[in-house]
Amino acid sequence: MTDLVSRDFVPFTKKTAPLAGAALDAIAAELGGSWQVVESHHLEKSYAFEDFATALAFTNRVGELAESLNHHPDFELGWGRVKLTIWSHDAEGLTESDFIWAAKADALL
């Protein structure tokens, strides 16, 4: 597991510039290939589960993480699957905090 999971989540502000170029590529590599960087704007990942109840339980754990960090993803929940999409809305793109958040979400599996 990446060391991103152990980093403190740093709240961002409207003045936080989104990551781009080499900085974005480097932190994406640190997170690993299971998350996709989409259009240099947001992160997406799909998870597969054995049934709806397990997918829902994971969604609820991710919801608790989101509330605790005040950083909320978009969810797609279906039978045996969850898709998460995250980005820093105020920064209008990806910040280091999004990658930390993604690592922490993976740790909830």
Helices 96-106 and 21-31, packing angle to 10 deg: 10
- Domain locations in the chain as residue ranges: 41-109
Give the pLDDT score at 29. 96
Residues 2-60: tens digit of each pLDDT: 799 999 998 877 788 999 999 999 999 999 989 999 999 999 999 999 999 999 999 99
Residues 75-98: tens digit of each pLDDT: 999 999 999 999 998 889 999 999
DSSP letter assigned to residue 108: T
**41-109 in CATH: which number?**
3.30.1360.20
Give the pLDDT score at 43. 99
Collapse the DSSP code of 36 into the 3-class scheme (helix H, G, I; strand E, B; otherwise coil) and give the result: strand
Give the pLDDT score at 1. 54
Distances (CA, A) of 16 to 7, 52, 94, 102: 18, 37, 10, 18
Q: Are 47 and 55 in contact (CB under 8 A)?
A: yes
Taking the model in full, what pTM does it have?
0.94
Give the pLDDT score at 85. 99
Q: Are 21 and 95 in contact (CB under 8 A)?
A: no
Distance of CA 58 to the CA centre of its chain: 14
